[in-house]
Amino acid sequence: MGKSHPYTRWLILMLVVGGLLLFPSSVHAAPLGGQLEIRVPVLELRPGQAGTAFISGGYPLEISALLDGESIPVFWAGSGYQATYAFGFEAEPGEYRLAINATDPLTEESLSLEETLTVLSFQYPLESVALPFRMVPLLDADLNQAETDRLNEIYSQHSSAAYLSWPFELPVPGSVVTSRFGGFRSYNAGVLRSYHTGTDFRRFSDEPIFAAGDGIVAATEAFDVRGNVVIVDHGFGIFTHYAHLNEILVQPGQTVIKGQTVGLAGSTGRSSGPHLHFEIIVNGIPIDPIRWMAMRYNFIPPRELPPDN
């Protein structure tokens, strides 16, 4: 047989390559196993702190997550799954068992992890706060309880967002923390005692306040203590709360994206000067916003005022 023409050899080569492109299933190997991963970056927590387990390696996955035998929320966060848990101010110190199982239904790969979470014995510092006479009515115990009850009603919603936009961003980038989360405050020599359920940031009046993440506005209300408030539902029992606003720029039911302006800073409610009181609520529990965000890779914590300021 004589030699084939170069054009013929080129045509045969193109037909072979074209066949591989048209029928990729004939040359793809089976999906690789061993891709599932479960990470629990924080194993020791204080009361008033939340943690997250990160599950990655496929989509969709079948996941069960239990804390001391009780189911905890699991959601898709854009690049993997998260299972969240939180401990309130009254959480008993000790060990808690976290058990997670993940299965990829496509490959039948499965991975289980059990970790012991430790809630530390910790007391938040006592803070004495003196309010002017005109604000004394805002220390009424029944008034404060009614506001807490209304907030708990809002936080009892458990919507399922398409995904949670993790990580969250600070609602006031570059701002200074003027009061940390968790201080056990005594107002006017013990007229009222309560925990500080958020972190306060220095703001000037009418400076913009930004959404920490994507979500749906759950409520915009004028409270006696917290003043004008915006609450954003991020899905799966996670909310952010922006208080003491001069002006609210969003409506209940409105979809917001991370970094969108939701209001303007102010001093409405029980406030001695313009600032932002910012809360993160996980599973109905107010948790330390800075420690929540510190789980983010390369998180840079905000500056704080010296203790004597």
State in words which class domain 126-304 has.
Answer: mainly beta
The structure's pTM equals 0.85
Give the domain ranges of the chain. Answer: 37-119, 126-304
pLDDT the model gives residue 94 = 98
Across residues 302-309, what is the average pLDDT?
Answer: 72
Q: What is the pLDDT of residues 192-220, one digit of tens each?
A: 999 999 999 999 999 999 999 999 999 99
Of the pLDDT bands very low, low, confident and very high (cuts 50, 70, 90), residue 90 is very high
pLDDT value, residue 298: 82
- In three state form, how does the secondary structure of the chain look? CCCCCHHHHHHHHHHHHHHHHHCHHHCCCCCCCCCCEEECCCCEECCCEEEEEEEECCCCCEEEEEECCEECCEEECCCCEEEEEEECCCCCCEEEEEEEEEECCCCCCEEEEEEEEEECCCCCCEEEECCCHHHHHHHCHHHHHHHHHHHHHHHCCCCCCCCCCCCCCCCCCCCEEEECCCCEEEECCCCEEEECCCEEEECCCCCEEECCCCEEEEEEEEECCCEEEEEEECCCCEEEEEEEEEEECCCCCCEECCCCEEEEEECCCCCCCCEEEEEEEECCEEECHHHHHCCCCCCCCCEECCCCC
Question: pLDDT tens across 108-165, in order?
Answer: 999 999 999 999 999 999 999 999 999 999 999 999 999 999 999 999 987 776 567 7
Average pLDDT value for residue range 91-119: 96
Two domains, one topology: 37-119 and 126-304: no
Q: What's the fold here for domain 37-119?
A: Immunoglobulin-like (2.60.40)
Q: Which band of pLDDT confidence, cut at 50, 70 and 90, is reported for residue 305? A: confident
Percent of the chain with pLDDT over 70: 86
pLDDT at site 295: 82
